[in-house]
Structure 1
Amino acid sequence: MEDSISKDLTCSICLTIFTDPVSLLCGHSFCRECITNSLSIKDQCPQCRTTVPKEEKYLPTSHILKSLAEKAKEAEKIKTKQRDETTGVSFIYLFIDVMSVSESLCPEHEEKLKLFCETDRQLACVICRDGEKHDGHKFKPIREAATSLRRELEKGMEHLSDEIHAIESLANMQREEITKTHVMSQQLMTQISTQFEEMHQFLRQREEEIKNELKEKEREAVEEMTEKFKAMDLALSESRELQVKGTAALEISDSVKFLQSWTEVNNMLTPECLFRPRANDLQVARTSLSLGPYESHLQFFVWKEMLQVVKPRAELLSLRGKNTDVTVSDDLRSLLCTPKKFSFSRENDIYHTLNYSFKTSSFGSGQARSSFEFGSMDASKPSGFGSTHAPQTFGGHFLKYDGQKYVISNQSSVTELTFTDRPRKIGIYLNCSSKELSFYDADKMKHVHTLSSSLMSLPVSAYFNIGHSEDIDRNPLTVCWY
């Protein structure tokens, strides 16, 4: 009977019990992989030779056959296991039958294993319990220990399915993030190549324009020099010809012949006219080829030109505020503390700060970059540089400059930033999507520090606080426009 069932569940192609069985319209069943490979060679059923239409090649799984095949495979495994046991093959099982264990003997004392040591988590006999090895250990009868362990396993199994599902979800999410990272990296690679190509194209075009300008200046200069050279060459030829004629005439001793020879050749021209100095009328055209500032500072000027076509450009922020103790320049780029009334108290510090907050345009998406110049401030004058979000909503963090050092400050701590050279200009870069604010040395484009806050709500504006000291200087905070 079992052999008949196994035969019905056997694939006629691979001659083994079905794996993921599917059925054709003709009624014959095969393993999915077997029939797929067969149909890719010939569109016929391997058993009855019935033609299989192309639209039938997508075959759903036969769940009834799949269930029966799995049971047949399990039965085959049990038969194999029983056959191995009769030949003395040893197996390790996850769960131990309590009745069979109770009849097992301790390998050390050859006593029945009737106890379970909870301390060592192993089976034991009565002699083991009383021995030094298990001194002070806690024991339970085997049946009681098995019941307790089974209860714990059943309780754990109840939540294991949910745990597996949760981990699978996390794994899928992580897999998606890995894919996103690869895609984003490729997009950024393309973006980098595109932007560098734009710069290369600008530089190549500008190089060609400057070279053409040089060639045009060369052409004009050479054309002028050529005209001068032709005039010199003509004068030289005429002078040499005159020299030959004069020498020949002077060799004639007869006065009549001498006069006739000279007047026939030179007609009415007198010697004074013929021998007038001609070199004085000629002048060498000197080389005046020059590219102006491009000749000595080409890279600098082209870099400044390229800033005008760079996209996206730095945000042209404008400072705005209503406090009468602070002066904003007419172009809205510079900020200077000019208090009209101010009383000092030196109880706690050599100076005290009046904080004037000024904000700029708002940003709600994408990225934004700007730079600010602090000038050569007096060491006694404190000056703070706020984040592009109000400090109280950006986790209480902000960048501060007190005339001597830069610090990252919040309500509970102050972290001093160290530099080889103190930055004169600070650049800020805001990434709205990641809610990160980065500070840079704007002259060297070196990263200074990055702040991040998940509490930041968009849109945000840049806020700046300037300080005041008794010894007021006149160096404003200035927005750098490129």
Structure 2
Amino acid sequence: MASSLFAEDLTCSICLSIFRDPVTLQCGHAFCRQCAGEALAVRPQCPQCCVAVGGGGTEAHDLPSSFILKSLAEKARGAQSPQAPRVQEVDLCPEHEEKLKLFCFTDQQLACIICRDSERHEGHKFKPIKEGEAVLREELGVFVQKVSSDIRAVEALAHTQREEISKSREKSEHLTTQISNQFTEMHDFLRRREREIKDELKQKQEDDMKRMSENLSIVEAALSESRELQAKANSTLTITNPEKFLKTWTEDNNRKTIGVLLRPRANELRVENTSFSLGPYESHLQFFVWKEMLEVIHPRAERLSLTSNSPDVIITNIRRSLIGQQSQFKNTHKTLWPLPTTSGQALSSTKFSTGEHYWEVDVGSRDLWSLGLNHHFLQFNGQHYSVCCPNKTRAVTLANRLLKIGLYLNCSSRQLSFYDAESLAHIDTVDLNLDSLPASAYFCIKHSGPDNDPLTVCWY
């Protein structure tokens, strides 16, 4: 009995357990350090006598320890035998000091009989502790089953996500290698062509220099002869004796006539001009090398062929161009948009179901057209651009008028993207319906009167 009273004296009035690291407030009441800190954080006064705790001593680590109580509390815990009932953490109602015999399902907490009848618990649902335990245990069992099922589902998601991360990393590495290989191929081609064109230039320069150097040697030899003849003539002119003068001049020049000796040599000679040229590589090098690269690198733009059952269009230019037939339409620009599906349509003979595909269409100055797939396309009505999908149309704002459109279809991700093919600037991307594939490329024009502006699929 004395031991029980001794333990009660060493019990914290907040947690109802033997003190752990006890501290003493200014009023003399003692509590566990953690309990006192949490209570003072809510209200800076003693939880037992409500005396204000002033100064900066409201933090748990600032409260003074009670070493005597700490020592006694440790002895009390050591004196309790394993068989002896330990002081319960929750035994009495902290508000009414009555035994906790009920469980409030509304507040999810233990309560006493006085709590049940208090205003704070008015209308709440109560059950005896054992019945409440049974109900809560059953609910908790169902909860554990649901949590277990949810954990398995989340684990499956995590596993799938890890696989996707791995796939993404592998795809990135594959694309990096592919990009490096393709750029290496282009770099090798450009370096090889640069070396070949420079070698050609060097060879032409050497040939030109040889020709001009040979001509310079001839000119310099003629100049030397003329200067030597001039010197001999001047020397002969200094002879005053007529016989000696005639004899000297005629003997030195092998009896050549004055006309032959004094012929104008400049008329016989000419200047060789530099003549080597690289032709178009001199002024249009990048364009011609680009054209060569198209043949070597093998670009993957689709070489689509068009087909149409529409009586209002003609497929021309090896099934690449779409031209409107002479029609009875008048005031075309006032017709509703999108265009009627029975007029001016064509499809590609190729159908797409897998892989990635890209093609370009030259629309030129045409005012009314639609390009894409059957139910997903980019359209122009002469003033505005729009992206059209089933039951949805979205306006697109562009700074410049489009002359050539690029279309990129990714069948695996089911996306169709539109580009300005001249600048390769991205215009928009649409998601395709699940039943959109396989699909053919879609082309639609509207016209009135003679149509001289074809819509053409670009081939490379």
| TM-score, reference length from structure 2 | 0.75
Q: 1:412 to 1:85 in 2, by over 3 A?
A: farther
Whether 1:298 aligns to 2:285 is yes
- Give the deviation of 1:310 after TM superposition: 2.8
Q: 2:354 aligns with which of 350, 365, 372?
A: 365
Residues 254 and 311 of structure 1, relative CA distance in 2, 3 Å threshold: same
Alignment of 1:249 with 2:236, yes or no, is yes
**Shift, 1:344, TM fit:** 8.0
* Contact 1:102–1:142 (Cα < 8 Å) also in 2: no
- Name the SS of the counterpart of 1:317 in structure 2: coil
Structure 1 residue 154: Cα displacement = 1.3
2:46 match: none
CA distance in 1, matches of 2:265, 2:337: 84
Q: Aligned AA for 2:358?
A: R
- 1:180-227 Cα distance to aligned partner (Å, 9 max, x none): 111111111111111111110111011112111211221222122112
**Unmatched 5+ stretches in structure 2:** 1-73, 81-86
Q: Equivalent residues in 2 for 1:123-202 (5 A)?
A: 123-202=110-189
Q: Percent identity?
A: 49
For 1:332 and 1:456, the matched residues in 2 are separated by 28
Report 1:183-222 matches (<5 A).
183-222=170-209
Q: SS at the partner of 1:309? A: helix
Whether contact under 8 Å (1:344, 1:352) holds in the other structure is no
Write the distance in 2 (CA, Å) between the matches of 1:176 and 1:351: 43
CA 1:321–1:349 in structure 2 vs 1: closer, same or farther (change >3 Å)?
closer
The answer to whether 1:227 aligns with 2:214 is yes
Which whole-Å CA distance do the structure 2 matches of 1:152 and 1:337 have between them? Answer: 74
Compared CA separation, residues 293 and 126, structure 1 to 2 (3 A): same
Partner of 1:115: 102
CA distance in 2, matches of 1:348, 1:330: 29
In 2: Cα distance, 1:188 partner to 1:84 partner: 71
- Aligned-partner residue type, residue 384 of structure 1: S
Shift, 1:345, TM fit: 10
Alpha-carbon separation, structure 2, partners of 1:260 and 1:129:
160
Q: Hey, what's the Cα distance between the residues in 1 that align with 2:450 and 2:193?
A: 47
Kindly tell me: are residues 467 and 362 of structure 1, through their superposed partners in 2, closer, same or farther at Cα, counting changes over 3 Å? same
Shift of residue 263, structure 1, vs aligned partner:
2.0
Q: Which of these two proteins has the greater Rg computed from alpha carbons?
A: 2
Deviates more, 1:425-434 or 1:457-466: 457-466
Q: Return the alpha-carbon distance in structure 2 between the equivalents of residues 137 and 412 of structure 1.
A: 53
Q: 1:478 aligns with which of 449, 456, 459?
A: 456
- Cα offsets for 1:362-385 (capped at 9, x unmatched): 23322111100112124xxx3222
Q: Residues 75-474 of structure 1 correspond to what in structure 2 (within 5 A)?
A: 86-87=77-78, 104-341=91-328, 349=336, 353=340, 354-360=342-348, 361-378=350-367, 382-387=368-373, 390-391=374-375, 397-456=376-435, 458-469=437-448, 473-474=451-452
Q: Is the partner of 2:203 in helix, strand or coil?
A: helix
With 338-347 and 231-240 compared, the bigger mean Cα shift is at 338-347
The one-letter amino acid paired with 2:384 is K
Count of aligned positions: 380
Q: Retained in 2: the 8 A contact 1:377–1:473? A: no
> Matched residues in 1 for 2:325 and 2:147: separation?
69
- Aligned-residue offset at 1:406: 1.8
Offset at 1:280? 1.6
Cα RMSD of the aligned pairs, angstroms, is 3.0
The more displaced of 299-308 and 196-205 is 299-308
Deviations 1:310-360 (A, max 9, x none): 334211111112333211114211101214555889997599745343221
Q: Distance in 2 between matches of 1:383 and 1:462?
A: 14
Stretch of structure 1 that moved more, 445-454 or 353-362: 353-362
Task: Indicate if the aligned counterparts of 1:325 and 1:340 stay in contact, CA closer than 8 A.
Answer: yes
Query: Structure 1 CA distance, aligned partners of 2:353 and 2:316?
Result: 27
Distance 1:149 1:164 in 2: 21
**Cα distance between partner residues in 2 of 1:108 and 1:342:** 91
What's the CA shift string for 1:123-148, capped at 9, x where partnerless? 22233334444344333322222111
CA deviation map 1:56-90 (0-9, x unaligned): xxxxxxxxxxxxxxxxxxxxxxxxxxx9994499x
Kept after mapping to 1: 8 A contact 2:313/2:345: no
Distance across 2 between alignment mates of 1:122 and 1:340: 84
Task: Classify 1:373/1:104 alpha carbon distance in 2 versus 1 (closer, same or farther; 3 Å).
Answer: same
Per-residue deviation at 1:230?
0.8
Which SS does the other structure have where 1:409 is aligned?
A: strand
Amino acid at match of 1:406: Y
Paired amino acid for 2:369: S
**CA deviation digits over 1:69-112, x for unaligned, max 9?**
xxxxxxxxxxxxxx9994499xxxxxxxxxx9798112232211
User: Aligned with 2:297: secondary structure?
Assistant: coil
Q: Secondary structure at the match of 1:386?
A: strand
Relative to structure 1, the CA distance from residue 184 to residue 129 in structure 2 (aligned partners, 3 Å threshold; closer, same or farther) is same
TM-score by length of 1: 0.72
Q: Is the 8 A contact 1:318 1:332 kept in 2?
A: yes
Alpha-carbon separation, structure 1, partners of 2:413 and 2:79: 64
Amino acid at match of 1:359: L
Q: Counterparts of 2:337 and 2:151 in 1: how far apart (Å)?
A: 63
The question of whether the paired residues in 2 share the 8 Å contact of 1:385 and 1:401 is answered with: no
Q: CA deviation at 1:163?
A: 2.8
**SS at 2:306's partner residue?**
coil
List per-residue Cα deviations over 1:219-277 (Å, max 9, x = no partner): 22212211210111101111111122111111111122222222221112122211111
State how 1:22-101 maps to structure 2 within 5 Å: 86-87=77-78
Q: Secondary structure at the match of 1:178?
A: helix
Post-superposition Cα deviations, 1:429-478, rounded to whole Å, max 9, x if no partner, equal: 11122222111111111111112225145433212222234x65421211
